[in-house]
Amino acid sequence: MTSEQITELVVDIAKRARAASLELATLDTETKNRFLNDLAERLVAETDSIIAANAQDLETAKNLGLSQPMTERLTFTPERIEAMAEGVRQVAQLPDPVGVEIERLAPPKGFDLRKVRVPIGVIGIIYESRPNVTIDCAILCLKSGNASILRGGKEAFHSNMKLAGIIKETLRANDIHEDAVQFIPTTDRAALNVLLKQDDTIHCIIPRGGESLIRFTVENSRIPVIKHYTGVCSVYIDAAANADMAEKILINSKCQRPSVCNSAENLIIHQDAAALLPHLAKALHDQGVELRVDTHAKALLDGSGLPLVDASAEDFATEYTDLIISIAVVPDIKAAIELINANSSGHTESIVTDDAVAARRFLTAVDSAAVFHNASTRFSDGFEFGLGAEIGISTDRLHARGPMGLNELCTYKYIINGTGETR
């Protein structure tokens, strides 16, 4: 396609999404849920054709020499398609966020003034390899009354196109505006650039992917972006920590699933709890974790026989997503809070302590989306928070912070019922 054709294509998609969004905003819950349950059925019924489309992507992946983990994430199996369909049925079960009264205000003139939850409008989602994101994002946007424009990566292009086709058929079959979910049928980066400039018709961009994708989006978008950056999460073991609880929470936070954003990357320990360090370090080592230590921690672990790596300053700001941990010993809770606020990505931190005053201080002063007292960082998740679903975990502060569920895919409007009031 020429650059004019790409511009025309993307501008047209955005305009049609805006028109669809005005219809979607007033759609009843029953129709939305009927659509979702129908989509789940069709996905299962189309298992063979989805796997056939996916085979084309896997063939390309082989030719491109894609890594084993990337290829694995790209692959559809009948079980994965069934799991995806089950996710769709679960979203059908969730309460409809639209139209819920959030707050009743008390205006001085006394008219009836309510703040009511409504869809944002048109949401653009930009994502990378995993094709099930196409379904996840489409259904969360639709359930929350938003039109969506999906732009997936080239690795999953055929799988995505197939899924987008099934969504479109299901929209038509359920008499929903067929532009309610649209997939950009090209992976040309020029299309992304045009998309990010459509601030008259698109209201929000959510990039789901690596840091470079998010950076590119922020630097090129005129549309507000909700960022889901990395998770550089810390566990802080306070002077008054219970030793067993400290070990349990640390090991769970670091090791239960090290590849995800809510796993811990840093262990910070109060010098008065330093006696716990040799045992904790051994427990981490036994789980296969590499120990990167500051000078104070190194001195304390010197005779332990454990393999130690000197931690650099940047290590404390690094998301390893791997079995590696940075360890610092601090003189007091103030130093712990400062170290976290200077290095954290603002995602999730946890304090282990039996001291209620220390806990309160940490929970107040640590500037992260989720702050835990005596619990694993691994709970920082939409499902674990009881949101029922999540489109991601925002490391932004505006609009949505932390796990984003259906409510966070909505905005609000003020509805006033008067009896002829004037100023």
Residues within window 88-107 making contact with a copy of itself, judged by CB under 8 A: 99, 105-107
**How far is it, in rounded angstroms, from Cα 157 to Cα 128?**
10
Residue nearer to a copy of itself on the CB measure, 65 or 108: 108
Residue nearer to a copy of itself on the CB measure, 53 or 241: 241
Q: Are 293 and 347 in contact (CB under 8 A)?
A: no
Three-class secondary structure of residue 328 per DSSP: strand
Query: Under rule CB under 8 A, which residues in 182-211 are in contact with a copy of itself?
Result: 199, 203-204
Of the ranges 42-50, 58-66, 132-140, 246-254, which one interacts with a copy of itself (CB under 8 A)?
246-254
**How far is it, in rounded angstroms, from Cα 212 to Cα 416?**
44
What is the b/e burial string over 4-20, where b = at least 16 CB atoms within 10 angstroms of the residue's CB?
Answer: eebbebbbebbbbbbeb
Sign of the alpha-carbon dihedral angle for 107, 111, 117, 119: negative
Dihedral, 190, 195, 197, 202 alpha carbons, nearest 10: 180
Size of the site for a copy of itself (CB under 8 A): 72
Dihedral, 330, 333, 334, 340 alpha carbons, nearest 10: 70
Three-class secondary structure of residue 241 per DSSP: coil
Kindly tell me which residue out of 359, 389, 391, 406 binds a copy of itself, with binding defined by CB under 8 A: 359
**How far is it, in rounded angstroms, from Cα 24 to Cα 272?**
58
Query: Under rule CB under 8 A, which residues in 295-324 are in contact with a copy of itself?
Result: none
Least separation in angstroms between residue 419's CB and a copy of itself is: 6
Kindly tell me which residue out of 100, 306, 317, 375 binds a copy of itself, with binding defined by CB under 8 A: 375
Query: Under rule CB under 8 A, which residues in 47-76 are in contact with a copy of itself?
Result: none
Strands 101-104 and 147-151: unpaired
Query: Under rule CB under 8 A, which residues in 112-171 are in contact with a copy of itself?
Result: 113, 118, 120-121
User: What x/- string results for residues 318 through 357 when contact with a copy of itself is judged by CB under 8 A?
Assistant: -----------------------x----------------
Least separation in angstroms between residue 415's CB and a copy of itself is: 5
**Of 404, 418, 413, which Cα lies nearest the Cα of 98?**
413
396 binds a copy of itself (CB under 8 A): yes
Of the ranges 74-82, 228-236, 277-285, 394-402, which one interacts with a copy of itself (CB under 8 A)?
394-402
Kindly tell me which residue out of 383, 389, 390, 392 binds a copy of itself, with binding defined by CB under 8 A: 383
Which residue spans within 18-165 are E strands per DSSP? Answer: 101-104, 112-119, 122-127, 147-151
Kindly tell me which residue out of 193, 230, 287, 411 binds a copy of itself, with binding defined by CB under 8 A: 411
- DSSP type of residue 156: G
**How far is it, in rounded angstroms, from Cα 253 to Cα 231?**
12
Of the ranges 60-68, 154-162, 232-240, 381-389, which one interacts with a copy of itself (CB under 8 A)?
381-389
Q: Are 280 and 315 in contact (CB under 8 A)?
A: no
3-class DSSP string for 258-286: CCCCCCEEEEEEEHHHHHHHHHHHHHHHH
Residue nearer to a copy of itself on the CB measure, 161 or 375: 375
**How far is it, in rounded angstroms, from Cα 300 to Cα 335?**
18
Least separation in angstroms between residue 168's CB and a copy of itself is: 24
Kindly tell me which residue out of 195, 293, 370, 406 binds a copy of itself, with binding defined by CB under 8 A: 370
Residue nearer to a copy of itself on the CB measure, 187 or 256: 256
Of the ranges 9-17, 65-73, 224-232, 319-327, which one interacts with a copy of itself (CB under 8 A)?
224-232
Query: Under rule CB under 8 A, which residues in 7-46 are in contact with a copy of itself?
Result: 22, 25-26
Least separation in angstroms between residue 347's CB and a copy of itself is: 11
Kindly tell me which residue out of 129, 182, 198, 376 binds a copy of itself, with binding defined by CB under 8 A: 376
**Of 47, 69, 136, which Cα lies nearest the Cα of 61?**
69
Residue nearer to a copy of itself on the CB measure, 99 or 185: 99
Least separation in angstroms between residue 393's CB and a copy of itself is: 11
Kindly tell me which residue out of 16, 158, 228, 401 binds a copy of itself, with binding defined by CB under 8 A: 401
